[in-house]
Amino acid sequence: MIDTEIVDFFMEEAEELFDGINSILLKNEEVGEISSEELDSLFRNMHTIKGGAGSVGLVNVSKFTHHLETFLDEIREGEVEFTKEIINFFIDSVSKIQDILDSEYDGNIDESEVDTMVEELKKEIDSFHGNNDAVVKEKVQNGENLSANVAELLDIFEDIFKILNEIETSQSIENIAIDELFRYVHTLKGSSQFLYLSYFPTYMHDLENILDDVRNEKLPYTIELNTFLLNSLYIAQEMIDLELNGNLEKEKFESKLKSLKEEIKEFENTSEESLGFEIFDDELDIDMQAFEIFDDEPVQKENPVIATPKEVKKEQIQTPKKEKKEVKKPVEKSIKKAASSSSIRVNLDKIDTLMNRVGDLVITKSMLFQFADNLKEHSDIYKKIVERLETLDRDIRELQESVMSVRMVPMESVYARLPKMVRDLAKKLDKKVKFEHFGDNVEIDKMMVEGLMDPLTHIIRNSLDHGIETPDIRRQKGKKEGGTLTITAAQESGNIIISIKDDGAGIDIDRVSQKALENGVITEDELNKMSFDDKAMLIFSAGLSTAKEVSDVSGRGVGMDVVANNIHSLGGKIDIKTELGRGTELKIILPLTLAILDGLNVMVGDRKFILPLSTIVESIKPKEYMIKNIGQGNRELLMLRNEFIPIVKLYSFFGVETRCENLEDGMIIIVKSSNTKIALYVDDFLNQEQIVVKSLEKNYKKIKGIGAATIRGDGSIGLILDVMNIMEKNKIKEEA
């Protein structure tokens, strides 16, 4: 029985493989052609899905994917030309694989329905054969991309050697996993094609055949056969390095391959004779400088997968001695060296645990600094301690940045899921949509990705369904037939800013406002005080999310309250800009990280608050001429370099007593969120420190103006200011 954890691991890997396949197909859909490198990548991903599904027991997925893999191989061999029609066929077929995968994973697969789908698939594939001009493509081995191609081979070698060695050691063939051995050898043969090897797949084909005979009970599995396979596969592994370096001559290989076939024939005839393993003996006259198994003297291998089986005698693996010339040794290609740079998959919980431990270090460091302050009177001791603590502080900061970098993933991983959705929905709505994305390399915390996908998906669906018009309507408006949907990601002031923009119909603000009034979402007085942007934000009101008429009147609104709630739960904010007939832009603003940040301690009366450094623009000691009073409420503004910035007195905002009611006696810190600035008035600001962010809402409740909390060096709780929330509350107060 397959471990459910392994199945879940495959499901996660399959999602990434599907994203890669769809990305390549959609990229080349318009031009109707594809590069040989991309075609190889398609084949590799499809092959991995097929093999992985089979290995975890998802046989229906493997059965369906097998025919697509075979078809791709025919295209790679130049038997069928890759056209735009074939690209569309593969896009639709990949969607079917995903549907079969989901059904089989959930345990409600209809195998007869899958059989029907397979037959239809085969008919479609057959329709592409015939009048296609063969395109012969030169296959060049790419050493730079070796790592991605050989990691799988090395893993398989390790697995198969483990099985064979256990049998060799125990001398027992009970419960032998023949199907598993066959699958490993089959995968080795197929995967080696990505390295453009010619001899190795041929060699593996014969070993595959003998295992197939064992599977079909045409041949008994014996200890002698096990030894033969162990020896064969050990040499096969070394053969890859040899062929990669161009040191395996065709004539010599064919001669020894013939010898191998004869030895296999002996097993097929169920001969009782002991096998002499002579695939490479003294007759093999090849100069193999980098191939240890063929050297004149034994060479100690570095971290071998398996020691040379004792049955392979020294005289059988030596090459004839020849006069050695001093030549420049070429750069060697090795699957072990290449695979050593491969990445590993780590459970996110482990990274979170590591992040928490780093957070504990930060808190301990703060405690040590506070303890050191008590030793100031002992200047010499204090100076030495502080020097060492500063070194510790630097090391912890570098450690924290390293751990954070592990948690960060590029926006490319988010974008990969979207083009297919845009294509399918546009096709369903009979619209032409060009999808563009920018900021692929901008990194976002992995913890935010899943939380971001649902609101992002909903926004895009609304944009295509209600925003971008049909080609006929766009022509009538003097627009291009095809609409454009653009997503842009950027880092700014410690935030990730994601913009989703379309050139569609825009939002009819007056109709949205009227509908909100009718539904009781707002009052007449509230509506009269609202700015244009405030009215646009009404589409996020819960009262408008379920009314069917809203879609007909405003063109948007269904479920958008859920979008806003999801963004707020990530500690973010969403803004909207729209122009009737021109389009709409939604901007999602998220914190760069939710774990550790740099903060500035500020005093408000006798209270200490922490202000995130990423939000601070500058700080000043205000002069009397900088303070301006305007409006009926005598609102105070800071005039700085011909810019008027609203002043928020934090002592008044939080209702605490202050020592500096006169603005000239305190300090002003100018902060910015998105494109908005406010001037925060505080009594004084203190030291800067690195803090560990703890959710206040999860552990207590949401508090006005407070975004999170931290544990200070003395064990007390420090409150972290929420600049965006302060701006929103101040804006509401001003309008009231």
State pLDDT tens for residues 645-693.
999 999 989 988 888 888 888 999 998 876 678 999 999 988 888 777 7
Q: In what order do the strands lie in the sheet with 667-673?
A: 616-620, 667-673, 676-682, 643-649, 635-640, 627-630
What's the pLDDT band for 275 if we cut at 50, 70, 90?
very low
Instruction: Give the number of other CB atoms < 10 A from CB of residue 409.
Output: 14
Q: Which pLDDT does position 136 carry in this prediction?
A: 31
Tens of pLDDT along 697-715? 777 777 888 888 887 767 7
Using CA atoms, how far apart are residues 540 and 561, in angstroms rounded to an integer? 4
Q: Which pLDDT does position 681 carry in this prediction?
A: 93
Helix (H, G, I), strand (E, B) or coil at 684: strand
Q: Which two tokens stand for residue 177?
A: 């996993």
User: C-alpha angle with apex 567: 414 to 532, nearest 5 degrees?
Assistant: 115
Tens of pLDDT along 447-490? 788 788 888 888 888 888 888 999 999 999 999 999 999 999 98
Using CA atoms, how far apart are residues 426 and 306, in angstroms rounded to an integer? 54
Q: Which two tokens stand for residue 713?
A: 């060096």
Instruction: Give the number of other CB atoms < 10 A from CB of residue 296.
Output: 11
Residue 618 · residue 702 · CB < 8 Å: no
Instruction: List 502's β-bridge partners, or say none.
Output: 485, 584
**Quick check: 369 pLDDT over 60?**
yes
Q: Which two tokens stand for residue 90?
A: 């593969």
- Unique residue bearing structure tokens 């998105």: 674
Position with higher pLDDT, 153 vs 553: 153
**Quick check: 399 pLDDT over 80?**
yes
Using CA atoms, how far apart are residues 687 and 439, in angstroms rounded to an integer? 35
**Quick check: 380 pLDDT over 90?**
no
User: Where are any strands of DSSP class E within 454-557?
Assistant: 483-492, 495-502
What's the pLDDT band for 156 if we cut at 50, 70, 90?
confident
Q: How far is CA 667 from the centre of its chain?
A: 44
Instruction: Give the number of other CB atoms < 10 A from CB of residue 413.
Output: 15
Arithmetic mean of pLDDT over the chain: 76
Using CA atoms, how far apart are residues 22 and 119, in angstroms rounded to an integer? 23
User: C-alpha angle with apex 121: 115 to 125, nearest 5 degrees?
Assistant: 145
CA atoms within 13 A on the CB side of 479: 21
Of 204-218, 537-551, 630-644, 716-730, the range with the lowest mean pLDDT is 537-551
Q: Which pLDDT does position 293 carry in this prediction?
A: 36
Instruction: Give the number of other CB atoms < 10 A from CB of residue 162.
Output: 11
**Quick check: 195 pLDDT over 80?**
no
Region label for 309, one of left (φ > 0), alpha (ψ between -120 and 50) or beta (otherwise) = beta
Of 27-31, 88-92, 594-598, the range with the lowest mean pLDDT is 594-598
**Quick check: 256 pLDDT over 60?**
yes
Question: Rounded mean pLDDT of 71-82?
Answer: 83
Q: Which two tokens stand for residue 516?
A: 């909100």
What's the pLDDT band for 559 if we cut at 50, 70, 90?
low
Cα-based distances in Å from 568 to 128, 556, 702, 724, 725: 50, 20, 12, 11, 11
Question: Rounded mean pLDDT of 41-62?
Answer: 85
Q: What share of the chain is helix, strand, coil (3-state, %, to 5)?
A: 55, 15, 30
Stated pTM of the model: 0.55
Q: State the helix-helix crossing angle for 379-407 and 348-373, rounded to 10 degrees.
A: 160
Residue 574 · residue 540 · CB < 8 Å: yes
**Rounded to a whole number, what is the largest CA-CA distance in the chain?**
107
Region label for 430, one of left (φ > 0), alpha (ψ between -120 and 50) or beta (otherwise) = left
Q: In what order do the strands lie in the sheet with 706-711?
A: 684-692, 596-604, 607-612, 717-721, 706-711
